[in-house]
Amino acid sequence: EKTIEYAYLLKELKETVKDQFLILMRVHVEKPRTLNSWKGFISDPTLDGQAKIEEGIESTRRLMRRILDLELPISAELLDPLLFPYYQDFLSFAVIGARTIHSQVHRLIASTLPFPVGFKNRIDGDIQSAIDAMQVSKTAQTFVQLTDDGRLVKTSSVGNFHPFLILRGGSEPNYFQKNIESTAQSMKKQGLIGNIIVDCAHGNKKKLPQERVVQEVIDDYFSYQTKIQGLMIESYLKKGNYTESPLTLAPKDLSITDECLSFDETKDLVLDFQSKLIKSNQSLCLYSAIGSPSNVINSAL
């Protein structure tokens, strides 16, 4: 219920800034993990390690349906190729994360999706892997895939129409103007449109708190006309995150994964950005492809 409470608040903010921004809600129900820890809502909805995946799938679909009923577009990271088909029909934007950016399977599946896909740079900061992934995803592909009823089929895709590169930092932050310009040039050399999003968390908040990173990205956008199409912000009802155990005792209004900005902080940053955009007569949005025709043709093997 707290997630829906946040969704209502975000919906109100979305309506307030709709002429300058397209706001999507990050609903990352799968969590990539380096070590053994909580794998996400879809795999462990009861937060106690019982792995009630069937319940997680059903709860994920109910949650996303309620969010979409608010006319709030959803973004999610696609992690397990056997799980994300259960909810990808609710998405307007998808992310391929830094740990899976080399995965050939994820690149091929991205080529079938009828909505934009963002590819994060590698954990160490390398962007070439993301550029390579974009090249694969935007190209027509043929490969083997499982159908809903468990059959193998030969899948032919036409390629993803709107791949994005997400700068998420690495061993050093990479949200600065020089990083954005260098990334845009590298993409241009390889025939890619410079669709760049800055992730203001993860490796980009190693030296400064997330709110400072957001503010610096905003300042650079106006000072240098940086070529970005969007920002990713980790935000929830209250500031911070729960780091104790068990997770079942965590406050419902506090993140149990990464540290987040509070909604009030998020709202202040977005409204400040909106005010500056209005003064400069600009807008900033992510391109959503809801209702696009299917990007895939299947034939049984």
Mean pLDDT of 28-36: 82
Residue 156 pairs in a beta bridge with 142, 297
For residue 287, pLDDT over 70 is answered with no
Mean pLDDT of 147-172: 94
Collapse the DSSP code of 198 into the 3-class scheme (helix H, G, I; strand E, B; otherwise coil) and give the result.
Answer: strand
> How far apart, in whole angstroms, are the C-alpha atoms of residue 95 and residue 76?
6
> How far apart, in whole angstroms, are the C-alpha atoms of residue 109 and residue 88?
11
Q: Phi, psi (5° rounding) for residue 139?
A: -105, 145
> How far apart, in whole angstroms, are the C-alpha atoms of residue 220 and residue 222?
5
Mean pLDDT of 260-278: 95
For residue 301, pLDDT over 60 is answered with no
**Residues shown for the chain:** 301
Report CA 100 to chain centroid distance, whole Å: 13
Residue 126: CA count within 13 A, CB half-sphere: 9
pLDDT digits 0-9 by tens, 188-235:
999 999 899 999 999 999 999 999 999 999 999 999 988 899 999 999
What ranges make up the beta strands (E) of the chain?
25-26, 74-77, 93-96, 117-120, 142-146, 152-157, 163-167, 196-199, 230-232, 296-300
pLDDT at res. 34: 66
User: β-strand 163-167 against 117-120: which pairing, if any?
Assistant: parallel
The domains of the chain, with CATH numbers, are: 2-300 (3.20.20.70)
Q: Across the beta sheet with 74-77, what order do the strands follow? A: 25-26, 74-77, 93-96, 117-120, 163-167, 196-199, 230-232
